[in-house]
Amino acid sequence: MNTTEVLSEFASDVKEGLLQFPKRLPSKYFYNEKGDYLFQQIMHLEEYYLTNAEFEVFEENKAEILKAFLGVDGEFRLVELGAGDGTKTKVLLNHFVSKGTKFTYSPIDISGSVLDGLTNALAQEIPALSVEPIKGDYFKALAGLKRNNSMKEVVLFLGSNIGNFMGKSGETFLRKLGEDMSKGDLLLIGFDMMKNPEKVLAAYNDAMGVTREFNLNLLDRINEELGANFDRNNFQHFPTYDPITGETKSHLVSKCTQNVHIAALDETFEFKAWEAIHTEVSQKFSHQMIEQLAKHAGFRIVQNFTDSNEYFVDSLWEK
Ligand code: AVI
């Protein structure tokens, strides 16, 4: 995809979202350079318990996880979807290497610079690890891997990324992922669990306001890339959590009636006072929801790994 096509996809998604009622903007556009940086900050926040919880899951269960990955084959390719800086994955990678495990690590990411950063860091930190990064779309990369070898595949999809899919789209994504996997291949997938609603809400409304910045950055991005004139001071970051459905939603609420012009769309959008734009869903799960999802996506749950607070579950599924 070249830059013009990415821009036009961004422009048309923004247009489609702002023409809907209620208005919405897709959270995948949070992640420009500034957004990537802010998300790294979020992951280190006291309130954002997810990072430490998954870290603990790996620290406490790395031996069991390796045992499950090895199964009867004793060899595998470890594929990670959207690896980021790999901080949590390194716990597993270090352990696997220290045990003399035969495996290759293939992080897949759409961003070449993210992959370069991770590959260089791994070469320094775990020199004995064999790394074959793949730049591109998850599905194309997985299908390419399957065409070129028949080794057992273990796919990592960590950090509750599945929670950011809207409605049924998570299930559709996982079903499609399964189509690029063979019988016996494994998927280790991270789920943030339902818990004290105050705890969840605080994770998306931190005292330092980093998550607020992360959310407002979407408006800055539309201004910069699509020539819009959003005034970020006229919007308020407002997350909600529904303890019945487990849905955590982020919103940008218009503090006054205002018009915003987006030059790339040649269009002006009206925002009424206190009208909200829905920008993100971060789904929280119950065990029953995980079971349903695995079943509907065509997987069998092998084992669940959790932290001492049971905040987070990394669930191992078999195709
Ligand atoms: C990437 N994703 C799992 C994060 C989440 O918790 O939904 C994104 C995020 N949004 C606000 N804070 C963090």
Cα-based torsion angle of the residue sequence 307, 316, 27, 37 in order, rounded to the nearest 10 degrees: 60
For the residues 51-57, what does the mean pLDDT come to? 97
pLDDT at residue 1 greater than cutoff 50: no
Give the percent of the chain with pLDDT over 90.
83
Burial class (CB in 10 A: 0-12, 13-18, 19+), 36: middle
**Residue range 209-262, pLDDT digits in tens:** 999 999 999 999 999 999 999 999 999 999 999 999 999 999 999 999 999 999
Q: Is the CB of 204 under 6 A from ligand 1?
A: yes
Alpha carbons 104 and 149: distance in angstroms, whole number: 12
> How many other C-beta atoms can be found within 10 angstroms of the C-beta atom of residue 310?
11
CA of 282 to the centre of ligand 1 (A): 6
CA of 148 to the centre of ligand 1 (A): 34
Q: What angle do CA 310, 315, 316 make, to 5 degrees?
A: 145
Q: Which atom of ligand 1 is nearest to the CA of 39?
A: 13
Cis peptide before 243 (omega within 30 of 0): no
Q: Considering only CA atoms, which residue is closest to atom 7 of ligand 1?
A: 282
Structure token pair of residue 77:
């390719």
Taking all residues of the chain, what is their mean pLDDT, rounded to a whole number? 93
Pocket of ligand 1 contains residue 42 by CB under 6 Å: yes
Mean pLDDT for 35-43 is: 93
pLDDT greater than 60 at residue 119:
yes
Best of 27, 39, 314 to mutate for ligand 1, by most ligand atoms within 8 A of CB?
39
At residue 146, does pLDDT exceed 80? no
Residue 124 neighbours by CB under 8 Å, 6+ apart: none
Contacts of 89 (CB under 8 A, 6+ apart): 80, 83, 156, 158
Tell the residue nearest (CA) to atom 6 of ligand 1. 282
Dihedral angle of Cα 193, 199, 205, 210, to the nearest 10 degrees: -80
Q: Is the shortest distance between the CB of 51 and ligand 1 below 6 Å?
A: no
Give the residues across from 278 on adjacent strands. 24, 251
Residues 62 and 92 sit within 8 Å (Cβ to Cβ): yes
Give Cα 26 to chain centroid, integer Å. Answer: 13
- Average pLDDT (166-177) is 93
State ipTM.
0.99
